Structure 1
Amino acid sequence: MLRVFPGECRVLALVSFALAIAIFFASQVRAQVAGATLSGTINDPSGAVVPNAQVSARNTATGVTRVATTDSAGFYSIPNLLPGSYEVSVTATGFSTAIQSNIELAVGAQQQLNIAMKIGETTQKVQVTESAPAVQLTSSTLSGEVEAQTVRELPLNGRDWTQLATLQPGVDKIETQMSYDTSARGNRGFGSEYTISGGRTTFNNYRIDGISVVDYANAAPGDVIGVVLGVDAIQEFSVLTGGFSAEYGRAAGGVVNAVSKSGTNSFHGDAYEFFRNSALDSNDFFDVGAGKPKPPFRRNQFGGSAGGPIIKDKTFIFGDYEGLRQTKGIPTSITVPSDAARRGNLVSGPVMVNPYSAALLALYPHATAGTVTDTGKFIFAGVQDVPENFGTVRLDHRISDKDSLFGTYLVDDADYTQPDKMNLIITNSHTRRQTVAIEETHTFGTSFVNAARIGYNRDYVVNQFSSKAVNPAGADLSLGSTLNQTAPRLTISSDNRSDEFGGVNSGSHYLHAWNSYQFYDDANWIHGAHSIKIGADVERELYNPTAFQNPGGRWKFSNLTNFLTGVPKSFEAGLPNTVTPREMRQTIFSAYVQDDWRFRPNLTLNLGLRYEMATVVHDAQGKFGSLVNIFEPSAATIADANLRCGTQFDASTAFGITAQPGTSCDSVGAYYKNPTLRDFEPRLGFAWDPFRNGKTSVRGGFGIYDVLPLPGYFLLQQNQAAPFMIFKSIKGGALASGLAKLGGFAAGVGQPLLANSTQSRLAASTIETNPHRSYVMQWDFNIQRQLDPTLTLTLGYVGSHGVHLLMRGDDGNMTIPTLTPAGYLFPCGFVASTDTSCTAGFTGGVFGAGGATSAQINKALGVIRYVYWNTSSNYNGFHVNLEKRFSHGFQAQFAYTYGKSLDDDSQTIAGDSFGNGLNSPMWFLPKAFYGPSDYDVKHAISINGLWVLPAAKSLGPVANMALGGWELGGIFTINSGVPTTPIISDDPLGLGNTGADQFGLPNIVPGCNPVNSNWKASNLTYINANCFTLPQSTPAIASQCQPFGFDPSKGNPGIAGTCANLLGNVSRNSLYGPRLVNLDFSILKNFPVKRISEVFNIQFRAEMFNILNRPSFVPPQPGSGDGNSVIFGSDGSPSGGSVGQLQEYATSTPSREIQFALKFVW
């Protein structure tokens, strides 16, 4: 059911009218969305234009011919051509027929081709030898094409064709994505993420055959291990990095635009197997240093493709299948309590082990090494299994000279299983992607073409479900902290470990069901010097996620002693019987007009306007919950209407809640005022040929690109939200012996779980009720120069400014600071002092920031996840692209980007979308965290090339077989490092939040280099911790400062002169990691077998990834407040240990890996 809120009706009427206009006037559907446009001017020998000339473009593979007639200005345009090789012929009375062959049209390209006629009879044929211009003379769009041979021949680890997007300037891969063996990756999208021209990863659109294939998180498509199969199914693709025209929507960053391979008049195909085995690989850097053997690895990728004619020149079919079977050893070394510690015999002295803690110790395996202290190492080798099957089929049919039709179906099914880090349980994730595209194109005449396209895109994901227990304790219900659940999740912060573990399905796991129904109609009318495009599209999105949010509960402990004695830092859990699917719904309506006006023969103006409106995201069952005001309700007014669906709350108890069956929030209307009702997006650009010779192009443009509030942005904001999901959190106190189950939740009364704890508090969410329009302004200028017929140089600048961008935080319920000359000062520190507003619930100096409860924004509630549109961004980039197109057996490309991306926050889906990001920067202080983006890359160089070595025919057949048929290929990249932020662990500021990673910031010592220049010889200690100090008190704030380490219960006055509740002056993402270098190399040997056919070929390939065997590292990261960029503990003590060390790789190829392949091509 389409639900429309007040104010949207008149807009829908206007869009519907635009859609009707587009369908009625008929034109081009894919001029730049997937197909190519060929245009130009026909002249006579004197340079005068030739009107009424017939221009024919014949696809040499399919024989399909499209015809246009030049107008009075000698201009012609043929839109919506299938990418490929064409032969163009021109006939006109009084002139010989001109023929130009080998015109290569790339996906979405606008190729200009001017032809000079010669006087003569039309029966005479003249071959035009001058090549088509290699520069872009008619469009201001910044784009790069990845041709079929590049996709097919360059080395690709995992055969993921989207990796080749980074060959273009301005495109960088995110090196700090969440690991795909956690639920965090699935919630943010499995595909590999890229930033394009400084935009967020969710600002990109990915298209195949004109259909958007982004997933539920508006992220790149991908399987359970983050790759996109189908190299042999993709004809080619382009990457639009800026200045794209009004026909492109849902993209404020860039567009990856691919077209599938189609059948031709000749039968062609291949069969192959790519093989990897750890026996061929080098051991990785850390395993070598630790003296560990290489973990076993085996990957087989096999399949085949075939295509050809069903009816010559009329009907064609192409199909592709690819299978992947991967088995990977997962060596694990994890910290566990020593046997002595299990008995309470700690190095510091004996302790009494809490009975429940003693029972939970059954979850820990016994240490197998290094038990000198209270902990040891458990080392084991798990096995990860990944089976995947990918397939696609495409059918093309020419109904008549005026009508053509094609359809594509794609399916990708992948599974993944592996044990957790404690070898306690087996986890499983599953992805299934399906895409359908059907397009009909009708030609009304030489100047009108229309195409209508329908599409369907589906993702079904099972994310981090537990299939069984390896250790029987993992399935033991008697260990549960919540009713009918297995053992809870556990984490001990001082172990410097962000990973958690627990019983079967006790942790967070998810189901994602995403369906997108799409319809497009685009029209192109050639009228004199104007190429006018008008179109509209509708997309209906149905997103049904089910979030099992820590149903077994999650315990956090500050250290091993506190765990053994039953003194937790916090506990949180979601009541399992309140888990219900959310049914998010949204419809996007768009309409556009684009006029590419040939203002002068050497100057084209690109003038466009797009309108894009998205309906307010809502739940079909009315099960969205949101605070109208994050400060309300108070404890006394828990049933206040300010909490959406407040009538669902049981007012008889201050913290009670009853989620009643059959009830909904439908009556409250839209949760936020629709900010997209006036989303008009002008797109302006120009392309100028200053010397009128087709060899130089000066281009520039400006555009506005809206960022729509999409359903996926609300997943992690609603997965704990009252009143339809009961999720509670508590902090501090001591574990009660025998711990009562959470039965009180089911009765609607939140019972205390811990002795001496504060009352458990309900989780809620809030959405900004009156958001501003969210958009990106982008501008660009570049110069292209054709240096020779196959060599082109582009120098350009791209800039952008994001306005009212989304901030998604995991917990906004914290204390609010005041701005002082020394910085932001918070009202409560790590341990509550004499300030009575901070002393509520303080017990024995172990309460972390628990004393901040009374000073929090909302005292009645616990975690409050939020969505606000209050951040901004800026990007400036200088791009260089030198490209040598394939000729004489060689092609190469050099791309360089010098850029700077700055923002207040880089997150969209979650508070910590990336591993190096700070979780939930304070929503009320966005400008305090303005700095380099989490994905900022200052310098990026990419060089790639293919070389087909000359044949040795003159040496005879034997020598030619041995020395001929060789090809070399390679991709070399070198990027500056990834940014990170040094922090103070835990909650020194006294924020009081529990649903997000807590942190403070230290001070930086002026003039000190925070990077250890000798880090390679210093056990990879990259951060110079001596460059940081604790925030210092000043006379003006001394009375409000709480010293680090202050603990009145122990008579500890703390570290004199320090101020724990003062935010330090270290800037977000101010420290950059080491540069990233990688070289992939391939050697191919072709064995033509002409006895079978002229094109039959057997190809052997050897591909070496990271052939230099050079590890690339991401910098130390904040983690969950316990990462290795933690400089100080919350008590002010230096972190020591692994602080500042490089511990993670930046790429999926940490050491040299070798792949062999055998292909049969016909």
Structure 2
Amino acid sequence: MSSLFFVLVCAPNLGAQQFYGTITGTVTDPSGAVVPNATVKVTNVDTNVTSTLKTNRAGVYVASSLIVGTYRVEAEAAGFKKAVADRITLEVGATPKVDLSLAVGRTTEVVEVTAANAAILQTEQTDLGQTMDTSRLQELPTFSNAGRRPYNFLTLAAGVTQQTGCTGAGTGGGGLGSCGNDGNVRISGSRPRTDDNILDGASITPPVFGGQDVQPSVDAIQEFRIEQNSMSAEYGKAGGLIVIQVSKSGTNQFHGSAYEYNRNENWDARNYFEDPKVRKSPYNYNEFGGTIGGPIIKGKLFFFTDYEGIRQHGDTVGPNTLVPNSLFRSGDLGTLCTDNGGTFDASGICSGGNGQQIHDPNMNPIPFNNVANATTPVSLVSQAFLAIWPNGGSAIGIGTNSMTINPPFSNTTNRFNPRVDLNFSQADHLFTAFHTDYSSGFNYDIILGPEGKSISRGSNYAGTAGWTHTFTSTTLNEFRFGWGHHKGDRMPFGVGSVSPSAFGISGIPNCLSSVPDTKSGAACGTPGVAVNGYADFLNSGMLYEPATTLHFSDTLSKSVGRHSLKMGGQADHYSIDNYQPNDVVGNFHFTGSVTGNAFSDFLFGVMNKGSVQVQPKFVSSRAWSYSLFLQDDIKLTPKLTLNAGLRWQYDQSFRELHHGDAFFDPCATLYSGRDPSCVPHWEQFGVGNTPDTTLDPSKHQFEPRIGLAWNPIGGFVVRAGYGIMHPGYVGHGRAGDGQPGPNLLLGSSLGKGTPWDSPLPVSVPPSDTTAPIPVNFLVSFSSWAPRKQYPTYTQLWNLTVQKQFGRDTTAQIGYVG
């Protein structure tokens, strides 16, 4: 018993790597005694790459830094038959234990061993997670409006939910959904957009929306893992959710595939808002592609690549559109009186019942509610809008008709994912992979039709490279490099074909002259027009936002006696550029606050409020983030394992290069107490004594991790873990810190009664990139946060019980916080 106890306690374990796995075990003779110096071969059955090891004095072997796949383990020693355990599935981050017993005999004889002791219970680690291999990724239904994507599996994991009101990843527009680029999930109640995404060992999380820089196709992914709680100290920069993806590599055999998926209106149910008496609106979604992989040099150099295309088009179906009827369009609003129980006297004044009397902009009553009788002329700008406002439909209320308008949309996506692996030697494995995801799309404003096209595009790339060197069977080193680039842009409705000046609106600056990759000119889109009770003319705003991430990391793993040590560091550089004036071509609202009726306000061209925004400076923000960690997994007894780790993280505050950002400071000396009577004010980054950063960075972001795994009897494990994590960057500040908006917007707020026929009082701020913005301009920013504050952090804990039934089934119950 003491010998067996010693073997179990001293079993080395290098632990799970970020996208590798480890196979370990003990070699014994028929009496149960350990067999030292036995030869063990661990072979990947797909690539035929073999790692040859020797058992130590305790009869233990450790094969680490193995890519995911299916393996065969062979053990042999003089005087014994060869023992073979086949069909061992290795998942990302897993450490299956495969023990082999040698029978007495000649080495030319082979004994097949069932690898049942490669248990699916987690007896060594306390992290919570879920892994899906390539077969499950391809066989389970993943189809949605966003296509077949591994991210569709996220909500299948316990505790993962989609943020309310989000649509997931969109099509076109850089793959952005209503809440960002796949950053819209919550894990066990955590904040959305605080996950970290790791592809082939390198972080590809953009600092703008969270989520991932690219969306590899399902057929390019070997495994997809979700880490949810109590993870190792090597993981950080997240609020509790780590998404790990491993791309496919080539094998010793050539393999390929081709596929096509189609959805159309013939297979879909009728939309809720569609008239059952008419033909369903057209819709077609076509996803197609193929893969190929194989050896360049058998057993040494491999390749894999794929292509995926998406073509989606159809009609947007929604509630019917409300438009003014022919009487209102002609200026006759008399039914506001008569249809509400009122009557006109001889002078045309409405009275009685709920009849409504309207007035001109000078507050004079209009006889018979007909603007032709007013002394104030109707607006020429309003007449220009009215000329393109759809006419027709059926009556639905006073002055209102209902029309069915289903404007078309179209989206195109192309993805390409090549990868090359080189087994330079038994001790060195190198790989590089590149992923592209380009999308573009358009949709129409329901009022403007084809002239009101809004175009959105996204160019997304990610490259990863790695080198793993094994010094000995107990020591290895991993280096990772990652590069991610995400660029999304969106043009206002009608850009290139419609402009404010086409309607007679003057005073709005040229909105495109300072934006890269866009055409400058007067046709910069239609203004947003909202008339209460009717469909709006849309103004989608403008967006140009490229973001780039660089990732460097190095990890050293060492097994010493009872301890499995891992230590390393990580450095990430973030670069964000932003141009996003939302009201660049103006937004105007007509509510009835001037004449007594919203459509009457519109006819006279007197708004309740309006705004025109100008972003004078292109915002360019830069920051570095650094982290160090130490993890020690200790085998305290044969049945009890302690996981202990500490991580330190330092996040620089984003530095703005062009003074194009601003924040509100209620009192610049609030924390020093030197000026209790200070006046609240706004400050522009890098101007005067104002720093060019958002926050004072903290050097105290320590993240302890601790866990216990207890295996009192076979097939039963009790695990508990606790840890602290600091989320990474979201937007231009740290996650959850309520940072200022990503840009400084200047412009004019137009008050009640402002006529849009006259030149709008919009001031044009300076266009250079260094001069400070004059303080007399209207400043817009979304929020405020004090400079001195402790960064947001998340505490994670869990207590779980696992029970194994048979060879392939486990059940788990636990409390997760």
Query: Would you say same fold, with TM above 0.5?
Result: yes
Give the Å deviation of 1:387. 1.8
**Cα shift readout 1:813-867 (whole Å, capped 9, x = no counterpart):** xxxxxxxxxxxxxxxxxxxxxxxxxxxxxxxxxxxxxxxxxxxxxxxxxxxxxxx
Q: Name the structure 2 match of 1:688.
A: 710
8 Å Cα contact 1:75/1:529 also seen in 2 = no
Q: Name the structure 2 match of 1:1052.
A: none
8 Å Cα contact 2:469/2:478 also seen in 1 = yes
Give the Å deviation of 1:419. 0.8
The answer to whether structure 1 residue 699 and structure 2 residue 739 are counterparts is no
**Cα shift readout 1:586-644 (whole Å, capped 9, x = no counterpart):** 111011111111222222211111111110111122333122227999xxxxx989532
8 Å Cα contact 1:269/1:305 also seen in 2 = yes
Q: Name the structure 1 match of 2:773.
A: none
Give the Å deviation of 1:88. 1.1
Q: Alpha carbons of 1:617 and 1:159: their partners in 2 closer, same or farther (altered >3 Å)?
A: same
Amino acid in the other structure paired with 1:457: G
Q: Alpha carbons of 1:171 and 1:720: their partners in 2 closer, same or farther (altered >3 Å)?
A: closer
Structure-2 separation of matches of 1:314 and 1:747: 60
Give the Å deviation of 1:135. 1.0
| TM-score in terms of structure 2 length | 0.82
1:384-783 to 2 correspondences below 5 Å: 384-422=409-447, 423=449, 424-466=451-493, 468=495, 476=502, 478-480=504-506, 482-484=508-510, 487-494=526-533, 500-502=536-538, 507-558=540-591, 561-565=597-601, 566=605, 568-575=607-614, 578-629=615-666, 642-645=681-684, 664-665=686-687, 667-669=689-691, 671-691=693-713, 693=714, 695-713=715-733, 722=744, 725-731=745-751, 733-736=752-755, 738-746=757-765, 761-764=778-781, 766-783=784-801
Q: Name the structure 1 match of 2:814.
A: 796
Structure-2 separation of matches of 1:446 and 1:526: 9
Secondary structure at the counterpart of residue 299 of structure 1: strand
8 Å Cα contact 1:409/1:437 also seen in 2 = yes
Match of 1:143 among 129, 154, 163: 129
8 Å Cα contact 2:384/2:503 also seen in 1 = no
Structure-2 separation of matches of 1:175 and 1:159: 22
Percent identical: 28
Give the Å deviation of 1:121. 4.4
Secondary structure at the counterpart of residue 689 of structure 1: strand
8 Å Cα contact 1:217/1:713 also seen in 2 = no
Secondary structure at the counterpart of residue 279 of structure 1: coil
Give the Å deviation of 1:94. 4.9
Give the Å deviation of 1:552. 1.6
Q: Alpha carbons of 1:486 and 1:794: their partners in 2 closer, same or farther (altered >3 Å)?
A: closer
- The structure whose residues are more often helix, as a share, is 1
Task: Give structure 1 stretches of 5+ with no counterpart.
Answer: 1-26, 634-638, 647-663, 749-758, 800-1162
1:1004-1023 to 2 correspondences below 5 Å: none
Q: Alpha carbons of 1:301 and 1:767: their partners in 2 closer, same or farther (altered >3 Å)?
A: same
1:957-972 to 2 correspondences below 5 Å: none
Give the Å deviation of 1:457. 0.6
Q: Alpha carbons of 1:386 and 1:185: their partners in 2 closer, same or farther (altered >3 Å)?
A: closer
Structure-2 separation of matches of 1:469 and 1:419: 13
Q: Alpha carbons of 1:453 and 1:740: their partners in 2 closer, same or farther (altered >3 Å)?
A: same
Structure-2 separation of matches of 1:277 and 1:134: 42
Q: Alpha carbons of 1:683 and 1:216: their partners in 2 closer, same or farther (altered >3 Å)?
A: same
8 Å Cα contact 1:387/1:414 also seen in 2 = yes
Structure-2 separation of matches of 1:37 and 1:342: 75
Give the Å deviation of 1:394. 0.6
8 Å Cα contact 1:632/1:643 also seen in 2 = no
Amino acid in the other structure paired with 1:415: S
Give the Å deviation of 1:118. 3.3
The answer to whether structure 1 residue 232 and structure 2 residue 219 are counterparts is yes
Amino acid in the other structure paired with 2:454: T
1:183-222 to 2 correspondences below 5 Å: 188-191=179-182, 193-221=184-212
> In terms of mean alpha carbon deviation, does 176-185 or 388-397 score higher?
176-185
Match of 1:166 among 145, 150, 155: 155
Q: Name the structure 1 match of 2:292.
A: 306
Give the Å deviation of 1:138. 1.1
Give the Å deviation of 1:278. 1.6
Q: Alpha carbons of 1:54 and 1:252: their partners in 2 closer, same or farther (altered >3 Å)?
A: farther
8 Å Cα contact 2:734/2:791 also seen in 1 = no
8 Å Cα contact 1:178/1:185 also seen in 2 = no
Secondary structure at the counterpart of residue 273 of structure 2: helix
8 Å Cα contact 1:238/1:256 also seen in 2 = yes
Structure-2 separation of matches of 1:612 and 1:101: 42
The answer to whether structure 1 residue 176 and structure 2 residue 165 are counterparts is yes
8 Å Cα contact 2:803/2:812 also seen in 1 = yes
Q: Alpha carbons of 1:354 and 1:444: their partners in 2 closer, same or farther (altered >3 Å)?
A: same
Q: Name the structure 1 match of 2:356.
A: none
Q: Alpha carbons of 1:645 and 1:392: their partners in 2 closer, same or farther (altered >3 Å)?
A: closer
Q: Alpha carbons of 1:308 and 1:69: their partners in 2 closer, same or farther (altered >3 Å)?
A: same
Structure-1 separation of matches of 2:28 and 2:635: 16
Amino acid in the other structure paired with 1:390: R
8 Å Cα contact 1:384/1:417 also seen in 2 = yes
Amino acid in the other structure paired with 1:170: G
Secondary structure at the counterpart of residue 735 of structure 1: coil
Secondary structure at the counterpart of residue 266 of structure 2: helix
Task: From the CA coordinates, give the structure whose radius of gyration is larger.
Answer: 2
Amino acid in the other structure paired with 1:335: L
Q: Alpha carbons of 1:720 and 1:49: their partners in 2 closer, same or farther (altered >3 Å)?
A: closer
1:269-280 to 2 correspondences below 5 Å: 269-280=256-267
Q: Alpha carbons of 1:781 and 1:41: their partners in 2 closer, same or farther (altered >3 Å)?
A: farther
Structure-2 separation of matches of 1:65 and 1:446: 14
Structure-1 separation of matches of 2:434 and 2:777: 51
Q: Name the structure 2 match of 1:654.
A: none
Structure-2 separation of matches of 1:265 and 1:30: 28
The answer to whether structure 1 residue 287 and structure 2 residue 274 are counterparts is yes
**Cα shift readout 1:974-1008 (whole Å, capped 9, x = no counterpart):** xxxxxxxxxxxxxxxxxxxxxxxxxxxxxxxxxxx
Aligned Cα RMSD in Å? 3.2
Structure-2 separation of matches of 1:301 and 1:181: 12
Structure-2 separation of matches of 1:468 and 1:552: 10
Structure-2 separation of matches of 1:447 and 1:760: 65
Task: Give structure 2 stretches of 5+ with no counterpart.
Answer: 1-11, 338-368, 372-376, 511-523, 671-677, 768-775
| TM-score in terms of structure 1 length | 0.58
Q: Name the structure 2 match of 1:61.
A: 46
Match of 2:336 among 341, 348, 361: 348
Amino acid in the other structure paired with 1:348: L
Structure-2 separation of matches of 1:369 and 1:543: 50
Structure-2 separation of matches of 1:483 and 1:151: 51
Match of 1:250 among 218, 226, 237: 237
Higher relative contact order by CA 8 Å / sep ≥ 6: 1 or 2?
Answer: 2
Q: Alpha carbons of 1:783 and 1:476: their partners in 2 closer, same or farther (altered >3 Å)?
A: same
Q: Name the structure 2 match of 1:113.
A: 98
8 Å Cα contact 1:543/1:584 also seen in 2 = yes
Q: Name the structure 2 match of 1:82.
A: 67
8 Å Cα contact 2:532/2:598 also seen in 1 = no
Structure-2 separation of matches of 1:430 and 1:747: 29
8 Å Cα contact 1:729/1:761 also seen in 2 = yes
